[in-house]
């Protein structure tokens, strides 16, 4: 956990130096490393990754890209936990900038 926290701090520091998609990608990496021990925070990395994909897209395509990334992430979930994660996304969607409305 100590190494994961160090990596998270480095990712968050990198996020302060950039903007747009790079910032959200760094925040996603930082979140993934920092909260591995706290199940209630597991959605943060996924939400930041969706925001990164959206920020990297052309403005006209951003919404479709966000939906596509959300759907892709859901397809990657192992079947034993898929329904639990999707239910959690629905319950906490507003806390996660509404990115799980796919």
Determine the pLDDT at residue 90.
96
Number of domains in the chain: 1
Query: CA 24 to CA 62: how far, in whole Å?
Result: 14
Q: Is 35 contained in some domain?
A: yes
pLDDT bracket for residue 73 (50, 70, 90): very high
Q: What angle do CA 95, 85, 50 make, to 5 degrees?
A: 55
Q: Give residue 71's domain range.
A: 2-96
Counting Cβ atoms within 10 Å, is residue 30 exposed (0-12), middle (13-18) or buried (19+)? buried
pLDDT bracket for residue 3 (50, 70, 90): confident
Q: Is 101 contained in some domain?
A: no
Query: CA 11 to CA 6: how far, in whole Å?
Result: 9
Residue-wise pLDDT tens digits, 17-35: 999 999 999 999 999 888 8
Residue-wise pLDDT tens digits, 43-59: 999 999 999 999 999 99
pTM for the whole structure: 0.88
């Amino acid at each position: 956990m100590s190494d994961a926290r160090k990596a998270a701090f480095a990712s968050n520091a990198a996020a302060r130096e950039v903007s747009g998609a790079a910032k959200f990608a760094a925040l996603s990496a930082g979140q993934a490393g920092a909260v591995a021990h706290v199940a209630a925070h597991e959605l943060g990395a996924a939400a930041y990754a969706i925001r990164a994909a959206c920020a990297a897209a052309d403005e006209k395509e951003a919404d479709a890209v966000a939906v596509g990334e959300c759907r892709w992430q859901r397809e990657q979930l192992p079947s034993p936990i898929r329904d639990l994660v999707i239910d959690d996304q629905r319950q906490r969607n507003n806390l996660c900038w509404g990115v799980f409305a796919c």
